[in-house]
Amino acid sequence: MRRAFIAGNWKMYKTPTEAKAFARELRSALADVKDRDILVGVSFVNIAGVVEELKGSQIWVAAQNMYYEKEGAFTGEVSPVQLKDAGVTHVILGHSERRHIFGETDEMINKKVRAALDHGLLPILCVGELLEEREKGETEKVCKHQVVEAYKGLSREEALKVTIAYEPVWAIGTGKTATPEDANQVHAFIRKVLAELYDQDVAEKTCIQYGGSVKPENIDALMAQEHIDGALVGGASLKLDSFVRIVRFQ
């Protein structure tokens, strides 16, 4: 059985002061939850405060992006070595907002996945199709391409360290969720791609989260699906009650 993994992606929300206070509240509200993995993905400037608040708890902290070089003249960028030292365990890579607003390519994402693993960070790789791609029936083709490109050069052992978040772009921040059955079908397909790239064991062990308008009202139905192992939650992770309810899915 795969362990459930619920992650909040705070995106570019919360100041350092707000993030610290929220992390403290979250820690106490979730203190008794031990049977699932929990993570918050925070802005770079919020890492130090949130890591401090969550130290010794079971809630992990992720960055939402990074550069793939370990150091150098890359003004404005943040390296995996810096992130590791700052206390994050995971890094969200290839989010659709990175791909579509900031022009990240599959090649860059592959380099970032490589660099994260080289420096002891666990990648959460986001994949997902645009609305027009879904309408053209290209969902599987797009997701396969993004997975194959991102995993290029990864050994089997490295592949086992990657979490995938399937986030259909048309469902992000729109209130439209893929139906649990539709999402499950794509998750099953992604597992098939992993079996082709590696083997059945990698396919079965890889955690695949769903993301896109996850809310307290739909989390239970999503998590009831065989191939949905968790969620990457945007808007609904910013409020204590809703994120706590999502983490406590039944």
Ligand X SMILES: O=C(CO)COP(=O)(O)O
Residue list 159-188, contact with ligand X (CB under 6 A): 167, 172-173
Question: Whose Cβ is closer to ligand X: residue 153's or residue 173's?
Answer: 173
Look at residue 230 and give its three-state secondary structure: strand
Minimum distance from residue 196 beta carbon to ligand X (Å): 26
- CA dist., res. 66 & res. 198, Å (int): 26
Which of 38, 194, 235, 247 is the binder for ligand X (CB under 6 A)? 235
Per-residue x/- track, 14-53, ligand X (CB under 6 A): ----------------------------------------
In this chain, which stretch among 22-30, 183-191, 231-239, 240-248 interacts with ligand X, using CB under 6 A?
231-239
Active site amino acids? 95, 167
Question: Whose Cβ is closer to ligand X: residue 121's or residue 231's?
Answer: 231
- By CB under 6 A, tell whether 94 contacts ligand X: no
Question: Whose Cβ is closer to ligand X: residue 53's or residue 167's?
Answer: 167
CA neighbor of 68 nearest in space, from 95, 96, 104 = 104
Helical H segments across the chain, by residue range: 16-29, 47-54, 80-86, 96-100, 106-118, 131-135, 139-150, 156-159, 180-197, 200-205, 219-223, 240-247
Minimum distance from residue 134 beta carbon to ligand X (Å): 16
In DSSP notation, 115-134 reads: HHHHTT-EEEEEE---HHHH
Minimum distance from residue 146 beta carbon to ligand X (Å): 15
Torsion 180-211-127-105 (CA) sign: positive
- CA dist., res. 205 & res. 197, Å (int): 14
Q: Which residues are annotated as a binding site for substrate?
A: 9-11, 173, 213, 234-235
Positions in the binding site for ligand X (CB under 6 A): 9, 95, 167, 172-173, 211-214, 232-236
